[in-house]
Chain A
Amino acid sequence: MDQDTSRRGGEIRGMALWVIVGAGLLYGVVNTARQVVDLFGG
């Protein structure tokens, strides 16, 4: 595997991981926000 292929593969995995962890964090924050509404009587 040459260096270009290695770099491209790493970059695709890196960007895919940004999407996965971003989606996970969004899921967690939205669920927490729903609970916080209860705290202030929403």
Chain B
Amino acid sequence: MSLLDRDRTVAPPGYRRWLIPPAALAVHLSIGQVYAFSVFKEPLVAHFDTRLTPISVIFSIAIVMLGLSAAFGGTWVERSGPRKAMFLAACCWAVGFLVAALGVATDQLWLVYLGYGVIGGIGLGIGYISPVSTLIKWFPDRPGLATGLAIMGFGGGALIASPLSKALLDAYADSPADAIAPAFLTLGALYFVVMMLGAFTVRVPAEGWRPAGWNPDMARKRRLVTTGDVTAANAIKTRQFWLLWIVLFCNVTAGIGILEQASPMIQDHFDTVSAAAAAGFVGLLSLCNMSGRFVWSSTSDAIGRKPIYTVYLGLGALLYFLLAATGTASVAWFVLLTGIILSFYGGGFATVPAYLRDLFGTLQVGAIHGRLLTAWSAAGVAGPLIVNAIADAQTAAGKSGADLYTLSMYIMVGVLLVGFVANLLIGPVHRRHMEPPEGAGRFRRDAEPAAGGVPAVTAERS
């Protein structure tokens, strides 16, 4: 039996569940480096003596591969357990850096596409979903807090990677363009070690384990919280899955529209903001994105998933409207509005696994989450496309400054309102989609005698 097998990761009795979130954070903080890829853009342009577009393709490939590997690998992750999935993610992420470094050292851009984009992108997708269902099983009483804590790491990864990458580029050579390969190798090695620590720390709870003093019947009183389990194959046949897909797509499209253009956007709105100050704005938005993941997702445990998305999308639309109408009033006002919008963007990402748990049960929540993340890939294309295309059209029409973005912001208000309506339409999943108790048992591979703080509870989700 391999050390990586799910059976070898079942926690012994009395294992403290608060030792699981740092394992998830170690993986998410590492793969969150992808949000800081822009640090390498200019050095890569100089190194390959090319334009920005071929270099931007690297990031796009990585995000598309994230969505695809999460969607197609979700069922494997669920079956194999978090340790094997984290191990694979660490290998892909590190090998991705290694191959990309080789591409840079030998002046072959296609190797960078293959390494960072394709292989690294697979590591992103598998790593992103690997701890989600484990955390939900360890924290059935607070799933929003648990997944918020882990997914916060993905937002926070850029905060670490950005200054670290700059420091490495400065340290290895006089010109950043000559320091890319050793910087990639260093990052790959560092992330491999941290992710491996996460992989060999993560544990799954024994079948039937539940936190001491927690009564599952209390959690089931909410109308949307299911008492059954739905497989990933059945989940995608439900209306609720696709409504939630639209909700995530709209929320991400609106947030990414600001995130992708943050630096030029604030400089176009205010002549007084320098490039260095704009970098501070980007950093502040990353902080809001990260903290929103933890704060709003934890809040959803108290007020419910549907109400919190009503806030993300409804209040988000109002804030976007205010940004379009009054955003030029002052720098502080602009920063406040965009900061809250970005915190909702992060919150939307972090709350969605708990929303899926409520609707479809815990049986294959990781695999269902993986399939839902295709909304992220689609929004990653749609959001920047809307903002960039409109800014280009406005420039061609002779407009400048804040006028470049006003129309995009009003479109984003509409996008958020579409998501708002989709969220309102989400109702409980019909019982016909749920597995019978013996059917759910077929999918549970970690059936073990219950261990931990309380006596065994046999699955009664029918």
Binding site for B on A (CB under 8 A): 3-4, 6-7, 10-11, 13-18, 20-21, 24-25, 27-29, 31-32, 35-41
Closest chain B residue to A42, Cβ basis: B280
Closest chain B residue to A2, Cβ basis: B12
B281 in the interface (beta carbon within 8 A): yes
Point out the residues of chain A lying under 8 angstroms from B197, CB to CB.
13, 16-17, 20
Contact B12 A21 (CB under 8 A): no
In the complex, which of the residues B29, B279, B284, B332 contacts A21, with contact meaning CB atoms closer than 8 Å? B29
Complex formed: what's the CA distance from A3 to B18 in Å?
Answer: 18
Contact A38 B25 (CB under 8 A): no
Closest chain B residue to A24, Cβ basis: B160
Complex formed: what's the CA distance from A28 to B255 in Å?
Answer: 21
Contact B198 A35 (CB under 8 A): no
B444 in the interface (beta carbon within 8 A): no
Complex formed: what's the CA distance from A28 to B203 in Å?
Answer: 28
Closest chain A residue to B159, Cβ basis: A28
Contact B159 A10 (CB under 8 A): no
Binding site for A on B (CB under 8 A): 11-16, 18-20, 22-23, 25-26, 29, 153, 156, 158-160, 162-164, 194, 197-198, 200-201, 203, 273-274, 276-284, 286-287, 331-332, 335
Point out the residues of chain B lying under 8 angstroms from A15, CB to CB.
19
Tell me the smallest distance from the CB of B232 to a CB of chain A, in Å: 29
Point out the residues of chain B lying under 8 angstroms from A21, CB to CB.
22, 25-26, 29, 153
Contact A14 B201 (CB under 8 A): yes
Contact A10 B276 (CB under 8 A): no
Point out the residues of chain A lying under 8 angstroms from B279, CB to CB.
35, 38
Contact B201 A17 (CB under 8 A): yes
Complex formed: what's the CA distance from A4 to B279 in Å?
Answer: 49
In the complex, which of the residues A7, A18, A27, A29 contacts B22, with contact meaning CB atoms closer than 8 Å? A18
Can you name 29 A-B residue pairings with CB atoms under 8 Å? A3-B13, A4-B12, A11-B15, A13-B197, A13-B200, A14-B16, A14-B20, A17-B22, A17-B201, A25-B29, A25-B156, A29-B159, A31-B159, A31-B162, A31-B163, A32-B280, A35-B279, A35-B283, A36-B281, A36-B283, A36-B284, A38-B274, A38-B277, A38-B280, A39-B281, A39-B335, A40-B280, A40-B332, A41-B277
Known: A17-B26, A38-B280, A39-B281. A25 touches B160 (CB 8 A): yes
Tell me the smallest distance from the CB of A30 to a CB of chain B, in Å: 9
How many inter-chain contacts with C-beta < 8 Å in the A-B complex?
105
Point out the residues of chain B lying under 8 angstroms from A4, CB to CB.
12
Point out the residues of chain A lying under 8 angstroms from B286, CB to CB.
32
Known: A13-B200, A14-B16, A17-B23. A28 touches B280 (CB 8 A): no
Complex formed: what's the CA distance from A16 to B20 in Å?
Answer: 12
Closest chain B residue to A8, Cβ basis: B12
Contact B14 A7 (CB under 8 A): yes
Point out the residues of chain B lying under 8 angstroms from A31, CB to CB.
159, 162-163, 283
Tell me the smallest distance from the CB of B158 to a CB of chain A, in Å: 8
Point out the residues of chain B lying under 8 angstroms from A40, CB to CB.
280, 331-332
Closest chain B residue to A19, Cβ basis: B22
Complex formed: what's the CA distance from A28 to B153 in Å?
Answer: 11
Contact A24 B284 (CB under 8 A): no
Point out the residues of chain A lying under 8 angstroms from B287, CB to CB.
29, 32, 36
Tell me the smallest distance from the CB of B339 to a CB of chain A, in Å: 11
Point out the residues of chain A lying under 8 angstroms from B26, CB to CB.
17, 20-21
Closest chain B residue to A28, Cβ basis: B159
Known: A11-B16, A21-B26, A38-B277. A27 touches B160 (CB 8 A): yes
Contact B194 A20 (CB under 8 A): yes
In the complex, which of the residues B14, B22, B164 contacts A14, with contact meaning CB atoms closer than 8 Å? B22
Complex formed: what's the CA distance from A42 to B335 in Å?
Answer: 16
Contact A32 B12 (CB under 8 A): no
Complex formed: what's the CA distance from A14 to B164 in Å?
Answer: 24
Point out the residues of chain B lying under 8 angstroms from A14, CB to CB.
16, 18-20, 22-23, 201
Point out the residues of chain B lying under 8 angstroms from A39, CB to CB.
273, 277-278, 280-281, 284, 331, 335
A17-B19, A20-B194 given; 8 more Cβ-contact pairs under 8 Å:
A11-B16, A13-B200, A20-B197, A24-B29, A24-B156, A25-B160, A28-B162, A39-B284
